[in-house]
Amino acid sequence: MTDPVIIGSERSEAGLPAGMAVLRAGGSALDAVEAALLLCEDNLADHYVGTGGLPNARGEVELDASVMVGSTRAFGAVAAVRGYPHPISVARAVMERLPQHALLVGEGAELFAAECGFTTAELLTEEARKAWHDALSVTEESVEGENTRAGSGDIAYRLAALELVKRLAPHEGPWGTINVLALDERGELVVGVSTSGYPWKYPGRVGDSAIAGAGNYCDLRHGGAACTGRGELSIRATGARVVVDRLAAGDDPETACAAMLADAATLPDTFRAELRTLALTPDGRHGGAAGQAGSTYSVMTAADQEVRFLPRRAVGPA
Ligand code: ASP
């Protein structure tokens, strides 16, 4: 029997104890990852995931999530989903109930969520709305006035939002996607990722979190990996897949993560911002790396009563 372990990115501590409770009771890594991420998605203090997430340039909260199972490399994801507070569960439903597909986006993902019976909710909290409003420095009139979303005012507004997105980059402060990686007592390994994405993003923008090989990858032969931060860099570098390839080549988890970040750092990127990554192997070894010193990740084993915070290796610019 394998010793269960669950690890996660910054602020996953809101959900890891629930995930470990599932694993301690003999539950599956898939259930543990979902249980942990559900609590993170409900955490109103976290503005980078689920309800309370910061919205896109138009003030709409659009969520991305994915899940991948190591033994089968089954993958399910949703992206740019509005109105559904638990995208991780919808991603799991895509994997389990719509196995002919791997990724649903926007309206189609919302239709599927409705057909599955998931309930809708208002995802834009007053705090997040105010942050969006202040950041974009728009007046209520420019949004609600006579040139509304369908008219020329909308185009001007979105152009202004795009300018603002450029000014905002690189993104300051923590990136907030949540990664959760779990290993259960039967030796199954699962990686889940959930995010509201880059704040004030262009509507429809999908980051790495919903993309297999970029923000999430899991292969029971070698390990699982997940990323947070500048999703476009992770997509271009196929971040999570590269980490797993390095594990396959014999790197320990921390070295594999650092190698991927060093490679991603060589890509030209006007909007460069921090990228972070985590890895967990089928024998329970784990590690992480980040572009910033002092970064940590969260860990719980069956013996832990509380979440432990371990350092990630800092990978500076080349
Ligand atoms: N990786 C996420 C994305 O690009 C952002 C984040 O980590 O906050 O959508």
CATH of the domain at 99: 3.60.20.30
Entry pTM = 0.90
Would 153 be classed as within a structural domain? no
Between 227 and 126, the more confident residue is 227
Predicted pLDDT at 98:
97
Instruction: List, as one string, the DSSP characters of 1-22.
Output: -PPPEEEESTTGGGTHHHHHHH
Any idea which of 35-39, 57-61, 243-247, 294-298 has the lowest mean pLDDT?
57-61
Between 243 and 57, the more confident residue is 243
What does residue 123 show for φ and ψ, rounded to 5 degrees?
A: -95, -20
Q: How far is the CA of 215 from the centre of ligand 1 (A)?
A: 8
Residue among 105, 228, 295 whose CB has most ligand 1 atoms within 8 A, to mutate: 228
Domain that holds residue 49: 5-121+172-314
Q: Say how far apart CA 223 and CA 202 lie, in whole Å.
A: 33
Would 291 be classed as within a structural domain? yes
Q: For residues 64 and 41, is the Cβ–Cβ distance under 8 A?
A: no
Would 44 be classed as within a structural domain? yes
Would 162 be classed as within a structural domain? no
Residue among 12, 62, 208 whose CB has most ligand 1 atoms within 8 A, to mutate: 208
Q: How far is the CA of 91 from the centre of ligand 1 (A)?
A: 17
Report, as residue numbers or ranges, the catalytic residues: 177
What does residue 24 show for φ and ψ, rounded to 5 degrees?
A: -60, -35
Q: 72: which 2 tokens?
A: 């089968």
Would 72 be classed as within a structural domain? yes
Q: Say how far apart CA 77 and CA 95 lie, in whole Å.
A: 7
Would 81 be classed as within a structural domain? yes
Q: What percent of the chain clears pLDDT 90, i.e. is strictly above it?
A: 70
> pLDDT band at residue 108, thresholds of 50, 70 and 90?
very high
Any idea which of 49-53, 117-121, 242-246, 285-289 has the lowest mean pLDDT?
49-53
Section 90-113 average pLDDT: 98
Would 96 be classed as within a structural domain? yes
Q: How far is the CA of 130 from the centre of ligand 1 (A)?
A: 21
Q: Report how far apart, in Å, the C-alpha atoms of 55 and of each of 12, 94, 136, 150, 165 are.
A: 20, 24, 11, 19, 12
**How many domains does one find in the chain?**
1
Residues with CB under 6 A from ligand 1: 48, 175-177, 195, 197-198, 207-209, 215, 228-229, 231
Residue 206 CA: nearest ligand 1 atom is 9
Q: How far is the CA of 199 from the centre of ligand 1 (A)?
A: 9
Would 155 be classed as within a structural domain? no
Predicted pLDDT at 59:
86
Q: Say how far apart CA 12 and CA 108 lie, in whole Å.
A: 28
